[in-house]
Amino acid sequence: FVMRNMFSHRLPVHRKYNLKGSLLSREASFKEKVKELPTHKDAELMNNMQKVYLSDDEKGKMMEKLSRDLE
């Protein structure tokens, strides 16, 4: 299952993640990390203690998409 971007395409992207829900082998390679806008993975989200702040509306949309992913 591929989830599309959760946020408006009008917003600037300053960091992006490819999340799978596992920490096993889930860190970006050195080659990826040196890119101008690298795609980080699950371990980096956890290790950097990153948080995602959502409005109640956006949270509801995300929870719906995640629920469909679990079906």
Residue tagged 């050195």 (tokens): 30
Catalogue the E-assigned strands of 16-68.
16-18, 39-41
The residue with greater pLDDT, 3 or 39, is 39
* Fold annotation for 16-70: 3.30.810
Do the beta carbons of residue 17 and residue 39 sit within 8 Å?
yes
Q: In this predicted model, what pLDDT tens digit does every residue of 6-62 receive, in sequence order?
A: 666 777 878 888 888 788 889 999 999 999 999 999 899 888 887 878 899 988 988
For 10, the token pair is 């009008």
Sign of CA dihedral 19, 20, 25, 31: negative
pLDDT band at 3 (very low <50, low <70, confident <90, very high): low
